A and B are shown apart, each in its own frame.
Chain A
Amino acid sequence: MPGRNTALYLSLGVVLAYCAVALSAPVIAPFDPFVISGPPLAPPDATHLLGTNDLSQDIFSRLIWGTRATMVLGFLGAVVSVVMGTAVGIVAGYYGGRVDEAVMRFLDVMMTIPFFPLLLVLTIFFRPGIYVTAVIMGLLGGLGSVRIIRSQVLSLAVADFVVGTKALGARDGYIMARHILPNVLPLVGVKFVTSAQHFMLVGIGLGFLGMGDPNVVDWGQMIERASKNGGIVLGLWWWLIPPGLAVTVISLALAWFAYACEERINPRFQVMRV
């Protein structure tokens, strides 16, 4: 299929561009995102590229600064989720037996509790900052990764090369780190990208529901403000659309990136139609 590589590099480029914007936000943004920078609800012009909101804050600057929150929510959450998922998944799958049984039963119970409502209850109680939110999302969302990694490790644990290494007297820790881990890494990588995408959407969704960290500019809170304080009724598209569009673009890039990677590593996709 032509264009798959293009999609891969294009999406990677978008992700890198977002990272660059996040890192250099203080340099690029023309205004402090919290400061009063002109008249309220001004339409776009040369000084305010996307106008101002009801608090007279520059929307373009807030959009730039919001990239940081998105990156933290997505990638920090994904790191936590993937590290936990991989570690627990490998241990459960490798040892099998009682360890595996205990982990799986625990997961069965935890996974009956719906992720998002539970996250809402935890958020409302802890009132966490953006970093803690990301970690909580990672821990809750990592439960699903444990299952996926574990099922992969189950078959690896009885593969000839693992049994052989064991026969040579290698320790369990060594086998898990040097032989099992490299074999699940591609899967872990894809899981990392899809998790990051998921947590970005969820984290920004929290902001949209008014559960965001008030000390941080995030796109969810921007959309919430815009839709609540007249963005829809007055038809102020430059206030309402950019933050949502920004989420959509990064989410799309990550989705495409994950899909392109998955096609490469998943042999099932290479089975041709008879």
Chain B
Amino acid sequence: MRAAYLLRRLLYSAVAFGISVTIMFVILRLMPGDYITLYLEGIYVIAPPEVVQAYNHAYGIDRPLIDQYFSYFLGILQGDWGYSLSYSRPVLDVISEKLVWTLVILLPATILSIIAGIAIGAYSGWRRGSKADVALLNGMIFLRAIPSYWLALMILLVFAFYLGLFPLGGYVSLSALDTGIDPLDVLNHAALPIFTLFLFSVTGTYYLMRNSMLMTAGEDYIVTARAKGLDDMTILRRHALKNAMLPMVTRVALQCAGMLTGSIFVETIFSWPGIGMLTFEALQVRDLPLLQGILLMDTLIVIVANIGADMIYPFVDPRVEVGNDARA
């Protein structure tokens, strides 16, 4: 049963990805002002027709649309995601190189925010209405309302500019030219971006965990545990926490997708050479092949994260599978 379910899910994601690719194709090829002209406008005042033609030929834009569509689609599947205009390199190469750097800040920030979010959220939900809960909740609402780009700027201004505790940007010091990349030096540069991303995503985890805990705290088995005379902390740890944490599996998947958006601002402000900064650069020079590559990569990450969550969920919560059997 589990295999059939997973198969259906995989098939379904494949369709979703195919449709995303199609949408991307439509956006790229059928819209007013083709992107080659758009890009050349950035170089020439008026692009010579021969140059436009040469570019169009090189990128296959002079072929029939249906031809272009199939070769585009096949290309995507074979790892040919197009050719970046500004980097003069295959898009997938550029993206995978930058993705590593994004993960360097994204992974620690995600893991930290999940741990902290679960801990604070669980406590806050368990002690619903207490002073600590109200203070935490208002603090989180406050934090969530601050735009990430401004928060990043303020953190940069305070910790790097005024206090001088951390570098103003980049990922290594100039000394890396002589000594090679030193992990400690990278960590020093990564600290502020990680901290900002952490603040940016911890609120979401907190909200969900608190809500989940509010629901769990009203369940019958909690009342039973209380009636048995178990002390508060034991109920929280042994009964409430485990059940309230279940929705977090899905949350983690969604968070991966959300953090990519956050990283655009954070990386741009801290000059961190990852996907976010790459997106910003691509926007500045109107490098559409690169942008659509990034969009495809983001889509792929969302799909993979969702499938991952779906696959893990039945192991964490056996009830989900029972529900599936009953329906099938």
**Which A positions have Cβ atoms within 8 angstroms of B?**
1, 108-109, 112-118, 120-122, 124-126, 197, 201, 204-205, 208-211, 220, 223, 227, 232, 235, 237, 240-241, 244-245, 247-248, 251-252, 254-256, 259, 268-269, 271, 273-274
Contact = CB atoms under 8 A, between A and B. Distances in A.
Contacts of B24: 121
A125 to B, nearest CB: 5
B288 interface: yes
Contacts of A208: 149, 265
Nearest to A119: B261
B216 to A, nearest CB: 11
Contacts, number: 136
Contacts of A248: 145-147, 150
A114 B261 contact: yes
B312 interface: no
Contacts of B44: none
Q: Is the interface of B mostly helix, strand, loop or mixed?
A: helix
A247 B268 CA distance: 19
B280 interface: yes
29 contacts: A112-B13, A112-B16, A113-B302, A114-B257, A114-B260, A114-B261, A114-B298, A117-B279, A117-B298, A118-B295, A120-B283, A197-B145, A201-B147, A209-B264, A209-B280, A227-B269, A232-B156, A232-B168, A237-B157, A240-B153, A241-B154, A244-B149, A244-B150, A248-B145, A252-B146, A256-B141, A273-B129, A273-B218, A274-B217
A227 to B, nearest CB: 6
A158 B146 CA distance: 41
A208 B268 CA distance: 10
Contact of B295 (A1, A113, A273, A274): A113
Contact of A251 (B15, B147, B153, B218): B147
A135 B279 CA distance: 23
Contacts of A245: 150
Contacts of A254: 145
Contact of A121 (B257, B261, B292, B306): B292
A252 B129 CA distance: 21
A259 B292 CA distance: 36
B31 interface: yes
Contacts of A237: 157
Nearest to A274: B223
Contact of B279 (A120, A244, A273): A120
Contacts of A204: 147
Interface string B293-328: 011001100110010000000000000000000000
Given A121-B292, A255-B144, A273-B217, A115 B265 contact: no
A87 to B, nearest CB: 23
A227 B268 CA distance: 11
A222 B298 CA distance: 29
Interface string B260-298: 110011001100000000011001101010011011001
Contact of A274 (B142, B168, B222): B222
Contact of B141 (A108, A227, A259): A259
Nearest to A117: B295
B19 interface: yes
Contacts of B269: 227
Contacts of A205: 147-149, 265
A29 B95 CA distance: 45
Given A108-B16, A114-B298, A124 B288 contact: yes
Interface string B147-167: 111100110110001100000
Contacts of B242: none
A121 B35 CA distance: 11
Contacts of B162: 235
Interface centre among B17, B147, B302, B306 (most CB of A within 10 A): B147
B153 A121 contact: no
Given A113-B23, A240-B153, A251-B145, A235 B161 contact: yes
Contacts of B146: 248, 251-252
B217 to A, nearest CB: 6
Contacts of B134: 1
A125 B268 CA distance: 21
A116 B261 contact: yes
B128 interface: yes
Interface centre among B149, B154, B261, B264 (most CB of A within 10 A): B149
Contacts of A197: 145
A232 B149 CA distance: 14
A227 B20 contact: no
A273 B128 contact: yes
Contacts of A223: 149-150, 153
